[in-house]
Amino acid sequence: MTLAALTTTQTASYATLSSHLVWASMTVLTVAMIAFLVDLTKLGESRGVVAAAVRESRDAELVTAGAGGSGATAGTTASVPSDAPPSAPGDVEDGTQAGPRRKAVGIAMSLTVLGWLLLGAAIVTRGIAAGRAPWANMYEFTLVGSFVALTVFLLVNRFRDVRFLGAFVTLLTVLFMALGQEVFFVQADGVQPALQSYWLVIHVGVAITATGILTVAFVTSVLQLFKDSRDNGSGLMAHRGFRFLDGLPKADKLEVLSFRLNAVGFVLWTFTLIAGAIWAEHAWGRYWGWDPKEVWTFIVWIVYAAYLHARTTRGWSGRRAAYFVLVGYACVLFNFTGVNLIFNGKHSYSGLTS
């Protein structure tokens, strides 16, 4: 066997291994998602029990006070049943991870770390097979973006108890990875001459990082809307089948977390826009050319800039702010998929053939 044939065989082996690792990661993260949901459902039931006990105690106090009961009776405080499930996670603001150890969430976190490691190994082996940074097409962007979203979740959880996000972050990453495997998959190969630059690592790497952060912020805003509807007893979320939403922090706490993540993502997206212009000048001799990808990257920047401005100076909050985030993330997704698949331009690097 010649050296070239041997190299080709090794490349194919790494590419195959990478694909297997992706499927393994998806399987592990799916189990983690189920464990997260089990834990969140128990937390919702726990909060429901506590809330019911508080309401009953207050009602009893009002009845007693109305009947001229003794001060001792009127001063009765709410009691929580001794067999109530474990308490809810610590507040997003105080950064605690309060409450007894919860078996389901412990399993879920361990599986999430395992799935994260498997996905990281898949990305590394993909890079070895391609002989370059593994984020040059839509398939690789999907994998690395999912990896970053998981990284953000795990990293933030080191400082704030955000395990309530686990079910939804893992669900979204599994969906993205499945989409990548079934729709965006291309063979590991080299890149076009315009991409053979250190800017591939800098510009695209930062863009993926920003996208991963904005993904977690998007999940948080969606949960903010769900939680708000649940607390107000309105819409589908008021149904008892969505009792797991009772295990989430209050809507305003979710909004604060989303805002902070979006602010970090916006800074990185700003760098992405600037770095892209510099790379464009190096590759094509101009900083700006109204290419579809350039235009939509700028549109994304405008939407998130407007969101941050509206929330910090115009007092936009609550559902209006959350809807703004949803619009911004929809633009991010279109910039990633629609622009690559619909429009022809200098950034048509999906790797897919029509």
How many helices (H) and strands (E) would you count in the chain?
11, 0
Q: Which of 346, 350, 327 is nearest to 338 (CA)?
A: 350
Whether 2 is covered by a domain: the verdict is: no
Asked, for residue 259, whether it belongs to a domain, the answer is yes
- In this model, does residue 246 exceed pLDDT 70? yes
User: Do the domain assignments include residue 327?
Assistant: yes
Q: What was the pLDDT predicted at 351?
A: 52
pLDDT at res. 288? 82
25 vs 317, more confident:
25
Q: What secondary structure does DSSP assign to 270-298, as a single string?
A: HHHHHHHHHHHHHHHS-S----HHHHHHH
Please give the backbone phi and psi of residue 351, each rounded to the nearest 5 degrees, phi first. Answer: 85, -5
CB of 349 closer than 8 Å to CB of 340 = yes
* Count of domains observed in the chain: 1
What digits encode the pLDDT tens for the residues 45-56? 776 555 445 445
pLDDT bin (cut points 50, 70, 90) of residue 204 is confident
Q: Is 347 domain-assigned?
A: no
**How high is the pLDDT of residue 66?**
59
Q: How confident is the model at residue 148 (pLDDT cuts 50, 70, 90)?
A: very high
The 3-state DSSP class for residue 141 equals helix
348 in a structural domain? no
Indicate if the alpha-carbon torsion angle 253, 167, 158, 248 is positive or negative. Answer: positive
Write the pLDDT tens digit of every residue in 14-69.
Answer: 999 999 999 999 999 999 999 999 999 888 877 655 544 544 555 455 556 555 54
In a domain, 353, yes or no: no
Question: Across the chain, what does the average pLDDT equal?
Answer: 82
The answer to whether position 205 is within a domain reads yes
Name the more confident of 144 and 288: 144
What confidence tier does 270 reach under pLDDT thresholds 50, 70, 90? very high
**Least reliable range by pLDDT among 91-105, 159-173, 231-245, 303-317:** 91-105
pLDDT of 238: 79
Q: How far apart are CA 172 and CA 231, in angstroms?
A: 24
- 316: in domain: yes
Residue 219 belongs to domain spanning: 8-342
190: confidence class by pLDDT, cuts 50, 70, 90: confident
For the record, the structure tokens of 55 come out as: 């309401």
Higher per-residue confidence, 238 vs 150: 150
CB 276 within 8 A of CB 286: no
In 3-state terms the chain splits into helix, strand, coil percentages (rounded to 5) of 75, 0, 25
Give the least confident one: 25-39, 160-174, 189-203, 270-284: 189-203
